[in-house]
C-alpha cells in the first residue's frame, strides 16, 4: 500500500523566512527531535553555502556516531540538502559535504521562464539543466535524488509530465510538486497530482505555501491523491507552519489531518513510525528558537487547543472528552505542568562562570570529570549562548555536554 511520509523543511525553507534565523546548534537540536518523533526526513539546509558546511557534516556524522546506548545519535531521519538544479552547484555542494540525498530545484512555469529567467531558457533548456544536475549528483556519490518543479501549480501539466519522466530516466526518485505561491486548492492539486502520478509513475512530494490559508489542506489532498493513484507520497512541512510570507504546511496539522479527519482516519496512509507524543516538545523548542510564540489557536499545540470556557463546552468535555475534542492532549505530549521560577534563578551563558555552570548541570544530573572538563564545557556554553542570542535550553545544554567536539564544530564559522 502506498504510504505518506513527512519531510520537514523547517531548517531550510522555514529558516530562510525573512526576519528570523536559527543557530546551527538550534538546527541540530531540531533534527534530533524530528528523529525522536519518527519523521522520515529533514531538508536541513544549503550544502553550497560555506557557513552550512560544518553544521551539515556534523549532522551527517551524528547518523553514524553512537550514543551511550550504542545506537546512532540520529537513528532514522534522512538528511536532505537543497540545491539549484545546476550541475556546477551540485558538484561544489558534494565536494563540501557528505550528504547522500539532494533535492534539485528549478522553476518550471511559463511565468517564471518569462519573468524570472527573462526568456533566457526554453523548456528544453530547463529539462537539460535538471537532468545534468541529477547526473552530477549521482556521479558525485548521492544514493537518491529528488527533483523540484518550482511553481508547479502554475506549470502546464504536459510539461510537468515531461519534466518528471526526464528526471526519472536520469535517475531521480521523487518529483516535488511545489505550490510556490499557494495558488492551488484541494480540488485542483488532487486532480493534478493524481494525473501526474499515473503518467510519470514515480513518488510525488507536496511543497505547499499558505498564501490562501490552504497549505495543510492542499498538502493532504495532493498526497492522498498520489497514494490513490498508486504512488508513495511525501509532504513537506514546517514546525508551527513557519515559512516565507504566510508560511508553509504545518507539521502537526498535516499529521493530525491524516490520522483523525473523517475520510482518512483508519486508512493507513500515514507513516506508522511517527510518534505524536513528541509534537509539543518540538513545537515549543522551535517557537523558542525562532522567538515566535505559538499562536493560541495553533492546531494541537496552541494554548487554547484543549481549553474550554463556554459552559456547554466545559460540561460536554468533562463528561466525555470526545464531545469536544477529536484527539487527546496526551497524544501530543501534553498534560504536564509548566512551572517558571519566581525566586532565585541561576543561568549560564556567555558571561557565566564555573559555579553557575556546575549548578545548572547538577540540575540535569550531569557532573564534570574534573576542572578541565568543566572549563571545556563552559567555553562551549559561552559561545553557544552568544550564537543563539538567548538562554540555552535543556536540550542544548545536554548536547554540548555529551558531544563537545560536535558542538565546537557547530559553533565554528570561517568567513
DSSP for 172-232, please give it.
Answer: --EEEEEETTS---HHHHHHHHHHHHHHH-SEEEEEEB-TTS-HHHHHHHHHHHHHHTT--
- Distance (Å, whole) CA 126 – CA 130: 6
The predicted structure's pLDDT at residue 340: 85
- Distance (Å, whole) CA 347 – CA 142: 43
All 3 cell numbers of residue 369?
A: 570529570
All 3 cell numbers of residue 296?
A: 493560541
- Nearest CA-CA partner of 402 in 363, 361, 371: 361
Whether the CB-CB separation of 176 and 236 falls below 8 Å is answered with yes
**Could you tell me the CA-to-CA distances from 52 to 86, 89, 243, 303 in Å, in that order?**
19, 14, 19, 34
Q: Which residue numbers in the chain have pLDDT < 50?
A: none
- Nearest CA-CA partner of 228 in 182, 170, 268: 268
All 3 cell numbers of residue 171?
A: 535517475
Whether the CB-CB separation of 79 and 102 falls below 8 Å is answered with no
SS3 (DSSP) at 144: strand
- Nearest CA-CA partner of 218 in 177, 259, 252, 158: 177
CATH architecture of 4-289: Alpha-Beta Barrel (3.20)
The predicted structure's pLDDT at residue 414: 83
Domains of the chain: which residue ranges?
A: 4-289, 354-410
DSSP state of 66: B
Its pTM surpasses 0.95: yes
The pairs formed by 256-260 with CB atoms below 8 angstroms and a separation of 24 or more are 256/299, 256/300, 256/326, 256/327, 257/216, 257/217, 257/220, 258/4, 258/220, 258/223, 258/224, 259/327, 260/326, 260/327
Amino acid at each position: 500500500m502506498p504510504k505518506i511520509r513527512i519531510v520537514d523543511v523547517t531548517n531550510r525553507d522555514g529558516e530562510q523566512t525573512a526576519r528570523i534565523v536559527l543557530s546551527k546548534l538550534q538546527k541540530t537540536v531540531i533534527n534530533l527531535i524530528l528523529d525522536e518523533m519518527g519523521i522520515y526526513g529533514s531538508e536541513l539546509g544549503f550544502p553550497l553555502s560555506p557557513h552550512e558546511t560544518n553544521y551539515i557534516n556534523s549532522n551527517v556524522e551524528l547518523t553514524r556516531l553512537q550514543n551511550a546506548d550504542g545506537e546512532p545519535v540520529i537513528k532514522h531521519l534522512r538528511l536532505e540538502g537543497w540545491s539549484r538544479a545546476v550541475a556546477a552547484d551540485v558538484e561544489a555542494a558534494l565536494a563540501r559535504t557528505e550528504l547522500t540525498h539532494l533535492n534539485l530545484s528549478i522553476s518550471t512555469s511559463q511565468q517564471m521562464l518569462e519573468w524570472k529567467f527573462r526568456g533566457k531558457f526554453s523548456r528544453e533548456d530547463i529539462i537539460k539543466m535538471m537532468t545534468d544536475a541529477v547526473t552530477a549528483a549521482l556521479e558525485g556519490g548521492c544514493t537518491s535524488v529528488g527533483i523540484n518543479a518550482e511553481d508547479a501549480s502554475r506549470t502546464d501539466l504536459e510539461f510537468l509530465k515531461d519534466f518528471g519522466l526526464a528526471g526519472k530516466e536520469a535517475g531521480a526518485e521523487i518529483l516535488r510538486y511545489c505550490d510556490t505561491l499557494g495558488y492551488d486548492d484541494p480540488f485542483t492539486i488532487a486532480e493534478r497530482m493524481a494525473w501526474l502520478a499515473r503518467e510519470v509513475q514515480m513518488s510525488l512530494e507536496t511543497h505547499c505555501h499558505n498564501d490562501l490559508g490552504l497549505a495543510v489542506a492542499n498538502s493532504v489532498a495532493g498526497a492522498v491523491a498520489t497514494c490513490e493513484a498508486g504512488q508513495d507520497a511525501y509532504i513537506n512541512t514546517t514546525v508551527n507552519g513557519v515559512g516565507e510570507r504566510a508560511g508553509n504546511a504545518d507539521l502537526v496539522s498535516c499529521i493530525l489531518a491524516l490520522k483523525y479527519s473523517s475520510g482518512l482516519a483508519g486508512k493507513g496512509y500515514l507513516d506508522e513510525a511517527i510518534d505524536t507524543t513528541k509534537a509539543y516538545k518540538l513545537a515549543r523548542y522551535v517557537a523558542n528558537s525562532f522567538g515566535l510564540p505559538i499562536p493560541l489557536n495553533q492546531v494541537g499545540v496552541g494554548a487554547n487547543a484543549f481549553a474550554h470556557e463556554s459552559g456547554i463546552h466545559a460540561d460536554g468535555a468533562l463528561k466525555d472528552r470526545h464531545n469536544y475534542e477529536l484527539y487527546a492532549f496526551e497524544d501530543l505530549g501534553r498534560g504536564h505542568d509548566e512551572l517558571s521560577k519566581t525566586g532565585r534563578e541561576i543561568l549560564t551563558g556567555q558571561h557565566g562562570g564555573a559555579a553557575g555552570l556546575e549548578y545548572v548541570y547538577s540540575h540535569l544530573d550531569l557532573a564534570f570529570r574534573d576542572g578541565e572538563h568543566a572549563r571545556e564545557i563552559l567555553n562551549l556554553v559561552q559561545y553557544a549562548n552568544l550564537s543563539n542570542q538567548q538562554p540555552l535550553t535543556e536540550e542544548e545544554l545536554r548536547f554540548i555536554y555529551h558531544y563537545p567536539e560536535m558542538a565546537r564544530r557547530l559553533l565554528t564559522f570561517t568567513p
